[in-house]
Amino acid sequence: MDLTPEIPEDLRPILLHILEITEDVAAEVDVTARALLPEPPAEILEHAGRITRMQRGIDGLRHDLTQGLGDSPIPDPEKCRLRTLVAQICAISVRAVDLAERTEVVGAERAI
C-alpha cells in the first residue's frame, strides 16, 4: 500500500517552497551551531534571527497550503496524509527556532 500523499498540482509550488526554506533553515542551523564556538555575540544573534524569520515564513506557507487543501477535491485520507507530511516538515523549523532561542541566550551572555 502506497502511503505517499497525493499532492494537488496547484499546491505543489507551496510545498516545494516550504521544502526550500526548510533546507535553508537546516543550513542556517549548521552555521548557528558552529557560531557558538568562536563567533562574537552579534554573529550568533544574526544567525538565530534568520532562523526565526524563516520559520515565520514557513508558518505562513503552511497556512496557505492548509487553506488550499481544504478546497481541494482529493479524498479526505489523502488530505490527512498530506497534512501529516507538512506538519513533520514544519517541525524541523520549529525545532530550529528552539535552537535559535538557546543560541540567543548564549550570545546575550557573551555580550555581558
For 9-107, CATH number? 1.20.58
What is the total residue count of the chain?
A: 112
Domain segments of the chain as ranges: 9-107
Instruction: Give the pLDDT confidence of 62-92 residue by residue, as tens digits.
Output: 999 988 888 888 888 888 888 898 899 989 9
Please say whether the beta carbons of 17 and 59 come within 8 A. no
Q: Take residue 88 and report the three cell numbers written for it.
A: 513533520
pLDDT per residue as tens digits for the range 5-16: 778 888 889 999
What whole-number distance in Å separates Cα of residue 85 and Cα of residue 64?
15
State how far Cα 70 lies from the chain centre.
21
Residue type at 78 in one-letter notation: E
Distance from C-alpha of 79 to C-alpha of 69, rounded to nearest angstrom: 7
pTM of this prediction? Answer: 0.75
pLDDT band at 1 (very low <50, low <70, confident <90, very high): low
- What is the chain's Cα-based Rg? 17
